[in-house]
Structure 1
Amino acid sequence: MNKIILISTVLSLAAVGTHAAETPQPVAVATNATPITIETRPEILGLWGMTIQDKNKKCTEYYNFRANNEVVIHSAKEWSTGIYQYIPSPDNTLSKAPVLLMEIQYDNNLKDCSGMQEDQTGEVSQYYIRWDDAKTIQFCNNEKADKCFAILRRVSP
């Protein structure tokens, strides 16, 4: 469609300066209509699981960080959804750990893996992220990422 409009426009512009007796000359039109787009995505994107051991049972809490900055959290019977922002380390030297901000927008208010039942709708959290490797991260309380309290393992890309 764009090629037809472009060719018509070029031909009509070429015909403006000619007389009716003259025949318009062929015009070369670029046909590369496939632009290359480079898109960067946060490295935290994907499904992560955190195992919670409570007495004799083991439960996994899942965090699904989606490309549109939405997060879905599933823990036992609890389902939560919200938005997140991942801010990588400003200089990649990890003198300041990456930051993860999350705001819960919906919580079904059922029991989670820890056995607690609490409506977290509207709750805003900030975590510092320590990357142990490409498949293991930790949620931490400070920007040096040395006071961590939760280990998450990548489940899928």
Structure 2
Amino acid sequence: MRLMINKSMKNIYIMGLLLACSGFAMAETVTQQPPAQPVRTASNPNAIRIVTRPEIMGLWGMEIPNNKKCVEYYNFRSSNDVVIKSGEEWSYGIYEYQPSDDPKEQLSALVMQIKFDNNKVDCSGQKQDQTGDISQYFVQWKNDHTINFCSTAKGEQCFATLRRMLP
């Protein structure tokens, strides 16, 4: 009986030793993990999406010097659409805004093309169909809420001041 207990103890001891050694052998094995996959925002409703937009986007108003009661509005929208309202006239078009890399050297550029004009009287008292007209301005930023439209890229001959009404 004593021989049987010793043999059982020996087997238990050997099994324990093998298990202990196999743990070290497993620890030495390096398994390569696949690279982490980025989280897809469509499947993650709490993900934050950052969208940049042109700084000129929003609703701007320009007081007409000889008609303080009338404000000409420019609504630069996200899809590069612009809606202009002046007195009874309103027009719709597209715009392209190109920010300057160095505003001290050269101003940002703004190009607008009018696609539709209702041909009514504007704030200046004029009635002129501007459909198809293309205009280029240089935008001089005074601060976040005030810009000037200028004729030159150096900021000379500024002729209109617009103030931000809505972001």
TM-score for the superposition, normalised by structure 2: 0.71
Q: Percent identity?
A: 53
Which residue is equivalent to 2:90? 79
Say which of 122, 134, 137 aligns to 2:144: 134
Which residue is equivalent to 2:76? 65
1:40 aligns with 2:65: no
Count of residues in correspondence between the two structures? 127
**Aligned partners of 1:83 and 1:94: how far apart in 2?**
27
TM-score for the superposition, normalised by structure 1: 0.75
1:116 aligns with 2:107: no
Answer 1 or 2: which has greater helix percent. Answer: 2
Ranges in structure 2 where 5+ consecutive residues have no aligned partner:
1-37
Distance 1:93 1:102, change over 3 A: closer
Runs ≥4 residues deviating over 3 A: none
1:150 aligns with 2:156: no
Distance 1:93 1:63, change over 3 A: closer
Q: Counterparts in 2 of 1:87-126, with a 5 A limit?
A: 87-89=98-100, 91-126=101-136
